[in-house]
Every structure is written in structure tokens, then in C-alpha cells.
């Protein structure tokens, strides 16, 4: 049986409503009611050693979709004495909730009449939730010495929970919509980085949202912050203060900041997903992220944490990968001292490693170079064939079009190329586990005219690298002819860097040191 009803613009359907009562001592002793039709139905009976389970499916219109909120009210609505239990609803619209004696407040447990079970379904687009009565619940086998949980579960009349659904309040429930939450998270990172840390504050506050709380708990678990406290704009609460309809817009999370040798422990907290662009990764991609760049996300550095929003809450990337969970990338944090030190240690750039370029238009490509050529890899839609592409090479310009309409890459090259020796190929891109938009790639081979200089970028105006930090692989120097090697040595001397012969001697010394660790080379001179 099913029940259909309309809230605002949406039509919802509830079906497969089932109420089970199972004995804790004998799981085979099970009483099932497939559909409870209303308050006049015969009551469900719940004993002291039994568990009541409520199951139902809910979907919107013709497709399954979970509502913004679902609750089960247990109590006496005629005297406005009720207890609200939040019902978890998964993405498929399946809802399950279990109740026992200890889950029901003392004032309700010792009532003289059966309790009433009511399902509440709400949407942010409506001012009031919808109520559907399942039927009465009779509590039996009550121990008069029963000690209820302390503090008592909060209960109250229905109007006190309507603010969860209503969009007309001063603080809209849309504060937990993911786009706005990511924007708040981005502001959280800027707050810790630019304001609180620089001022050496002992604590700072952020909006009390579910996403912020998840990230704060992750930071606390990994030692980035000292504590988390609930409070208001005036500071942490001295006594517990529940969120209500009147104060929900003023609730804050107060975070204790940590310092090490006068440097903030949490100095860098960078948001990865943004309101206009959210990034998702599979478990395989998260596992690979610890070793290399995945898609447009750089690899994790030692001492760095990356937090992911998964179906099981906010988790650190490594933990999510171990539990085979993917999700949306939220932010990454690193120790300020470690980040600065590692940035200073990264003196050299390996030109044979692909550099990732992402343009404001959304175009992405990778490129690497040797002294003789430049290789560019550009993603194209899956199924693209060679005849669909138009690639134009000029001495100082390049243009790549798809089906003569869409321009994939265009601009003036950083340096001149040999047009007759440049070429392009079309192949398959190996998927790295991320949600990539393409499984094919266009590879451009650009032959340099001047083979004694490095390119700072492929196209003028695109993100560039510092060519003074380029350190080629030693094994490649032997491939240079005498004239090119002479020009390379001259360039190295101008920059104050070792020549090809000196690099070769350093490599030999390193290998000898590795083979003889017992020898002291501190006073050794290389001639």
C-alpha cells in the first residue's frame, strides 16, 4: 500500500510502510505490521526486552529522492507533549528508525494512554511539514525503578520543530545546502589563514553548520586545533544552550588555535571545492593522491591532510581511501612551518615532469619539455577521431579546433618552433580513477628552433614556471652534442650553477658515497 501527498510544488509518495517489533532475547519472535492506517488502528505493543523498527520508502514525483528532513514523533499530540526522533533517509529514499524503552522520555513512558506514532516529512520549499499518523503504541513491562537517560531527551510541542523546515525564518535552513556550506568553508580557511593566525588569537569562531563541524572534528582528530566549543557571537557557552527558532542564526563554533615556536600550527587551510566548481574523487583516486597529482589536484605533501565529504561524514583522504569511500574534496591543511620549509627546499624544477595548467575558461592541459622539444597533452571528448580535429602550426602560433567550431587551444607561443618538424597524435588517456571529463587526449610535439633555452610556458599569458630553477636530469646531458653542451655550460655559468662536467662528477660522488657509507666525505675535494 502507498500514500501520496503534495507539499508545495512537489508530490511525494510514501510506500512500503512497515512496523516490526522484535524480541531482544529471540530474534525469531517478530511481530510485523505492514501498514498502520491511522490513530484508530489497534496499537503496536512494545515490551521492555523488545525493539520497535519503523521502515518506509519516500520519493518525490516519479523519481526517488530523500526529503530534506524526516522525523518520528512519539507522544500525546492532544496535550502537545511529544518527543522527536530524526529518521535517517538514504539517497534512495529508504528510511529506517529503531526505538526501545530507553529512547522514550520518562514523562511519556509512564503515561496512562497509548502513545501516538506520527511520521513528519518536510521540505525547505514549504512553510510547514506534512504529518502522517501511523498509529498508537502501547508500552508494557515497564520497570518502576527504570532510570531514564540523563539528560532527558528533548521534547516539546510540534511548533517548536517547524523551524527545521520553514524557509521564512531569519536564518533559513538552506544554510546547510552544500553550495552555501562550501562557501562558508572557504571563508573558514581565509579566517584561519589571514586573520586569527596573524593576530595570534587563542580562538576564533565559524558558523555552526554541519559541514564546518565535520571539518573541525577532522582537524581536532589530527591535532591541528586545540578544542571545539559551541557558542554564540559573544563567546563559548558556559552552560549547554540548544539551538532554537530564535537563536539559530547566532550559533557559532569556537575553535581553539595551536601554536608551535610562535608559529601557528594551522596556518594554511585551502578550499578545494568552490561554490561554482565542486570536485569529486573515487576511492582509487584518493589513494593515488598521496603519491601523485590526480586530475587538477596536486599530490599530498608530507604533513598535509585533505578532508573529503563522504556518505559516512567528513573523513581524511587516506582514511576514506582505506574504507573505499569517495566523495567531494573539501579542503587541505598543512603546518605553516612545514609548508614554508618545503617550499624553500623545492629549489629545482624537473622539466621532464608534466606541468599542469588550468585556465579560467576551464581548459586544462599538461606539458613538459627538453632542450629540443615541447610536448603538450590536451584532453578531448571521448570518441573524437582525427578528422574531427583541426591543428594549425605556425612559427609563433598554434590553434587547435574541434569540428571547425570549438577552439580547444589557441595563442602565441613563448618561442619559435620548426613547423615542418612539429606534429600531433590522437590517443587514449589512461583514467586515473578521478571523474574525468575525457578518456582521449591530443598530444602535440613542438620542435624548438633555439635548443639552448627553456620555455617558461607553452603559450604567452598562460601560467608559467621559473626557468632559473630548472635542473635537467643528468642522464640527459650525455645526449647533447658538443655545440649544444657548450651553450648549456655557458648558460649554467651565467646562472651560477654547475656545468655538465661538474654535474657528472657530483653524480659519480653520490653513487660512491652510497656504496661506501662508512667513509667520511666531509673534507673531500672534487677536482
HEC letters along 98-129:
EECHHHCCHHHHCCCCCEEEEEEEECCCCCCC
User: For the residues 31-37, what does the mean pLDDT come to?
Assistant: 56
Least confident range of 41-45, 219-223, 335-339, 434-438: 434-438
> Count H helices, E strands: the chain?
9, 29
pLDDT level of residue 527 (50, 70, 90 thresholds): low
pLDDT at 394: 92
Confidence check: pLDDT of 215 > 80: yes
CA-nearest of 419, 485, 426, 418 to 450 is: 418
**Which pLDDT score, from 0 to 100, does residue 198 have?**
60
- The larger pLDDT score, comparing residue 504 to residue 449, is at 449
Question: Is pTM beyond 0.85 here?
Answer: no
3-state secondary structure of 139: strand
Of 46 and 337, more confident: 46
Q: Is the pLDDT of residue 418 over 50?
A: yes
In whole angstroms, what is the distance from residue 176 CA to residue 441 CA?
38
pLDDT surpasses 60 at 473: no
pLDDT in tens, 197-208: 666 677 888 888
The span from the CA of 5 to the CA of 13, in Å, is: 6
111 — pLDDT class (breaks 50, 70, 90): low
pLDDT (tens digit, 9 = 90+) per residue, 268-319? 777 787 766 778 888 888 888 766 667 667 777 766 788 888 888 888 888 8
> Do 2-164 and 355-467 share a fold?
no
Angle between helix axes 178-190 and 210-221 (nearest 10 degrees) is 50
Report whether pLDDT(154) > 50.
Answer: no
Specify the range with the lowest mean pLDDT, choosing from 68-72, 260-264, 429-433: 429-433
pLDDT at 188: 57
Could you tell me the pLDDT band of residue 448, with boundaries at 50, 70 and 90?
Answer: very high
pLDDT at 416: 92
Q: Which of the pair, 87 or 182, is modelled with greater confidence?
A: 87
Q: How confident is the model at residue 4 (pLDDT cuts 50, 70, 90)?
A: very low
pLDDT over 90 percentage in the chain:
6
Cis peptide before 7 (omega within 30 of 0): no
pLDDT over 80 (residue 167): no
Architecture of domain 2-164: Distorted Sandwich (2.70)
Q: Which three cell numbers stand for residue 400?
A: 587547435
Contact (CB, 8 A) for 220 and 228: yes
pLDDT at 342 exceeding the cut of 80: no
Q: Does pLDDT of 446 surpass 90?
A: yes
What's the pLDDT at 436?
A: 37
pLDDT at 171 over 80: no
Rounded to an integer, the average pLDDT of 410-439 is 71
The stretch 346-359 carries a mean pLDDT of 71
What cell numbers appear for 417 in the block?
A: 618552433
Question: Average pLDDT of 70-88?
Answer: 73
pLDDT band at 158 (very low <50, low <70, confident <90, very high): very low
State the pLDDT confidence band at 349, using cuts at 50, 70 and 90: low
For the chain, give every domain's residue range. 2-164, 176-341, 355-467, 473-527
Q: What is the pLDDT of residues 475-521, one digit of tens each?
A: 455 555 666 667 677 777 776 777 877 877 777 777 766 666 666 65
pLDDT tens-digit readout, 128-151: 556 777 888 888 876 654 444 433
DSSP string, 360-396: TTS-EEEEEE-SSEEEEEEEE-TT--GGGEEEEE-SS
Q: Would you say residue 438 has pLDDT above 60?
A: no
Residues sharing a CB contact under 8 Å with residue 510, sequence separation 6 or more, in sequence order: none
Among 186-195, 217-226, 374-383, where is mean pLDDT lowest? 186-195
- If you average pLDDT over residues 216-234, what whole number do you get? 83
Class of domain 355-467: mainly beta
The DSSP letter of residue 164 is G
Average pLDDT across the chain, whole number: 71
Mean pLDDT of 438-448: 79
Distance between CA atoms of residues 34 and 1, nearest Å: 9
Mean of pLDDT values over 165-170: 32
Amino acid at each position: 500500500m502507498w500514500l501520496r501527498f503534495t507539499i508545495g510544488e512537489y508530490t511525494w509518495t510514501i510506500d512500503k510502510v512497515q512496523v516490526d517489533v522484535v524480541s531482544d532475547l529471540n530474534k525469531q519472535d517478530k511481530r510485523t505490521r505492514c501498514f498502520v492506517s491511522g490513530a484508530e488502528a489497534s496499537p503496536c505493543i512494545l515490551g521492555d526486552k523488545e525493539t520497535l523498527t519503523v521502515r518506509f520508502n519516500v520519493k518525490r514525483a516519479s523519481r526517488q529522492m530523500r526529503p530534506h528532513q524526516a522525523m518520528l514523533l512519539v507522544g500525546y499530540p492532544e496535550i502537545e507533549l511529544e518527543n522527536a526522533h530524526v529518521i535517517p533517509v538514504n539517497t534512495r529514499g529508504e528510511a529506517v528508525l529503531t526505538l526501545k524503552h530507553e529512547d522514550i522520555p520518562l514523562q511519556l513512558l509512564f503515561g496512562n494512554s497509548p502513545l501516538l506514532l506520527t511520521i513528519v516529512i518536510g521540505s525547505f520549499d514549504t512553510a510547514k511539514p506534512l504529518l502522517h499518523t501511523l498509529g498508537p503504541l502501547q508500552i508494557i513491562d515497564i520497570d518502576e525503578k527504570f532510570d531514564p537517560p540523563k539528560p532527558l531527551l528533548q521534547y516539546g510541542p510540534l511548533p517548536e520543530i517547524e523551524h527545521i523546515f520553514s524557509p521564512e525564518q531569519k536564518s533559513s535552513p538552506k544554510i546547510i545546502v552544500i553550495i552555501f556550506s562550501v562557501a562558508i568553508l572557504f571563508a573558514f580557511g581565509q579566517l584561519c589563514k589571514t586573520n586569527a593566525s596573524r593576530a595570534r588569537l587563542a580562538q576564533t569562531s565559524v558558523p555552526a553548520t554541519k559541514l564546518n563541524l565535520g571539518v573541525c572534528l577532522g582537524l581536532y582528530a589530527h591535532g591541528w586545533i586545540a578544542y571545539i566549543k559551541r557558542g554564540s557571537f559573544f563567546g563559548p557557552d558556559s552552560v549547554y544552550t540548544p539551538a532554537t527558532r530564535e537563536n539559530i542564526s547566532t550559533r557559532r563554533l569556537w575553535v581553539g588555535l595551536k601554536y608551535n615556536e610562535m608559529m601557528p600550527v594551522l596556518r594554511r587551510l585551502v578550499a578545494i571545492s568552490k561554490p561554482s566548481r565542486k570536485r569529486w574523487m573515487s576511492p582509487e583516486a584518493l589513494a593515488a593522491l598521496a603519491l601523485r597529482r590526480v586530475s587538477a589536484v596536486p599530490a599530498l605533501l608530507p604533513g598535509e591532510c585533505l578532508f573529503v565529504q563522504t556518505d559516512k561524514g567528513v573523513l581524511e583522504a587516506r582514511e576514506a581511501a582505506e574504507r573505499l569511500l569517495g566523495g567531494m574534496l573539501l579542503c587541505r591543511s598543512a603546518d605553516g612551518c612545514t609548508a614554508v620549509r618545503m617550499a624553500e627546499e623545492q629549489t629545482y624544477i624537473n622539466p621532464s615532469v608534466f606541468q599542469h595548467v588550468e585556465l579560467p575558461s576551464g581548459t586544462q592541459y599538461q606539458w613538459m619539455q627538453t632542450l629540443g622539444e615541447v610536448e603538450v597533452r590536451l584532453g578531448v571528448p571521448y570518441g573524437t577521431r582525427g578528422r574531427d580535429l583541426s591543428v594549425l602550426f605556425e612559427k609563433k602560433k598554434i590553434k587547435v579546433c574541434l569540428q571547425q567550431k570549438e577552439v580547444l587551444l589557441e595563442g602565441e607561443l613563448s618561442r619559435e618552433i620548426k613547423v615542418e618538424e612539429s606534429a600531433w597524435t590522437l590517443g587514449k588517456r589512461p583514467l586515473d580513477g578521478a571523474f574525468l571529463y575525457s578518456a582521449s587526449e591530443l598530444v602535440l610535439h613542438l620542435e624548438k628552433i633555439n635548443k639552448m633555452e627553456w620555455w617558461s610556458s607553452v603559450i604567452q599569458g598562460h601560467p608559467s614556471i621559473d626557468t632559473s630553477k630548472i635542473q635537467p636530469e643528468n642522464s640527459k646531458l650525455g645526449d647533447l652534442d658538443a655545440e649544444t653542451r657548450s651553450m648549456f655550460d655557458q648558460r649554467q655559468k651565467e646562472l651560477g650553477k654547475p656545468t655538465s662536467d661538474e654535474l657528472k662528477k657530483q653524480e659519480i660522488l653520490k653513487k660512491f658515497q652510497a656504496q661506501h657509507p662508512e667513509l667520511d666525505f666531509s673534507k673531500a675535494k672534487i677536482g
